[in-house]
């Protein structure tokens, strides 16, 4: 779901489009131009049907953008950093860095999306009704009616209480308020999502075998996405539950071995990397400020013949793209940011100075310690940690 090209920024939030969105545009436009519009409004030229259908498809994408933008704006107002919005094949996604800190914030962030789609649907329906009362008819009114219906359907579908749908987030918020435990509530919502996804897949295959064609294939595809996303969310909830309460400083490797960004790769390999055998090296300038990050994977990408003339800064992950954190920051808020050109690493800064590094191996070691702590306290659990009863597991 990464963006293929950018549409710019709206209210300071980056908006992008994945190339797969062209598929849904073609599906909607083709279905309307050659399926829905001609029987309802016969006698128009093919060009008129195509233009109206394309307008409806683009307006539908704008509706999706409004839905996701509502999520992003409310998330930002509730203290959650927003990385951006991406439109793709199966809709849109607002990429949030970290999660809501309270059940109320979770409820507001999740609920505003379906509410926005519902309001849009009602406004478009009112516009279509007023247009008909004024004597208007034809393709513009048909486009308004289609957009009204699809927005209401989008709102209702997203309210199904199953993660990763907005209804699943609302279910999590409700259970979180009831139980007082965010992670077990997330697991329940994710399992509901898996059940719903499998139900969609089964319904899709049923439609296929009964000869209803493309609609069944689409349902199965949506169901597969829901199952995969819900499974990933459950895994994330289990991990976050075991790491809950831990700070970045409790997990990081410290002190970090920093390097001069102007050092040649060949010299660095022989004098540092092959001797110290670390996998991650922050680059700092003469003032101690972070300017880049090199990993063994990035160093390996330099051809042997070019290592003598290539500086570390030339192959480093640049500073703006490096995930950074403070020692006191909750580890669970950092984890979603550990991606991109840093090869899954993050740099820990204290007053602008590099004090440590968090790598996937640091997180994996902490998870192993959490499992050992859980087994030691609850041997009947067979080594599995209950997310609600080991809040401090994993402290070194």
The single residue of 3, 68, 233, 333 carrying the catalytic annotation is 68
The closest alpha carbon to 50, from 34, 27, 61, belongs to: 34
End-to-end CA distance of the chain: 36
For the question of residue 333 being annotated catalytic, the response is no
Cite the annotated binding site by residue number.
67, 71, 166
Round to whole Å and give the CA distance between 270 and 255.
21
* Rounded-to-integer distance, Cα 390 and Cα 375, Å: 10
Question: Any idea what DSSP says for residue 264?
Answer: B
Annotated binding site for Zn(2+): 67, 71, 166
Tokens 């083709």 map to which residue? 30
Question: Are 166 and 82 a contacting pair, CB within 8 Å?
Answer: no
As a whole number of angstroms, the distance between CA 257 and CA 271 comes to 13
Q: Is 69 within 8 Å of 96 (Cβ atoms)?
A: no
- In degrees and rounded to multiples of 5, residue 213 shows phi and psi of 70, -135
Q: Helix crossing, 46-77 with 21-31: angle to 10°?
A: 140
Residues with catalytic roles: 68
């Amino acid at each position: 779901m990464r963006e293929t090209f950018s549409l710019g920024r709206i209210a300071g939030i980056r908006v992008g489009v994945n190339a797969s969105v062209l598929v849904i545009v073609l599906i909607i436009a083709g279905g309307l131009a050659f399926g829905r519009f001609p029987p309802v409004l016969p006698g128009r030229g093919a060009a008129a049907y195509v233009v109206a259908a394309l307008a409806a498809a683009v307006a539908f994408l704008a509706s999706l953008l409004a839905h996701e933008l509502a999520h992003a704006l409310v998330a930002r107002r509730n203290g959650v950093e927003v990385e951006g919005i991406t439109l793709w094949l199966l809709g849109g996604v607002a990429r949030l860095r970290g999660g809501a800190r309270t059940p109320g914030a979770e409820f507001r962030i999740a609920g505003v999306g379906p509410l926005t789609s519902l309001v849009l649907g009602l406004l478009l329906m009112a516009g279509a009704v007023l247009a008909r009362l004024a004597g208007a008819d034809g393709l513009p009114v048909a486009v308004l009616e289609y957009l009204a219906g699809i927005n209401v359907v989008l709102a209702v579908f997203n309210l199904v209480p199953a993660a990763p749908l907005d209804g699943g987030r609302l279910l999590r918020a409700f259970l979180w308020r009831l139980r007082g435990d965010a992670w077990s509530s997330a697991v329940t919502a994710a399992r509901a999502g898996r059940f719903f996804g499998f139900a969609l897949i089964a319904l899709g295959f049923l439609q296929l075998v009964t000869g209803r064609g493309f609609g069944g294939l689409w349902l199965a595809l949506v169901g597969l996405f829901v199952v995969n996303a819900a499974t990933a969310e459950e895994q994330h909830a289990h991990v976050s539950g075991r790491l809950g309460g831990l700070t970045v400083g409790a997990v990081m490797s410290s002190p970090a071995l920093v390097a001069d960004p102007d050092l040649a790769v060949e010299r660095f390999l022989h004098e540092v990397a092959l001797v110290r055998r670390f996998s991650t090296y922050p680059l700092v300038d003469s003032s101690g400020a972070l300017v880049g990050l090199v990993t063994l994977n990035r160093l390996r990408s330099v051809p042997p013949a070019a290592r003598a003339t290539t500086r570390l800064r030339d192959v480093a992950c640049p500073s703006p793209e490096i995930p950074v954190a403070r020692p006191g920051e909750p580890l669970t808020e950092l984890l979603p940011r550990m991606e991109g050109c840093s090869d899954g690493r993050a740099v820990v800064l204290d007053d602008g100075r590099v004090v440590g590094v968090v790598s996937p191996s640091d997180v994996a070691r902490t998870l192993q310690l959490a499992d050992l702590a859980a087994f030691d306290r609850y041997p009947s659990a067979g080594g599995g940690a209950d997310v609600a009863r080991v809040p401090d597991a994993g402290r070194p």
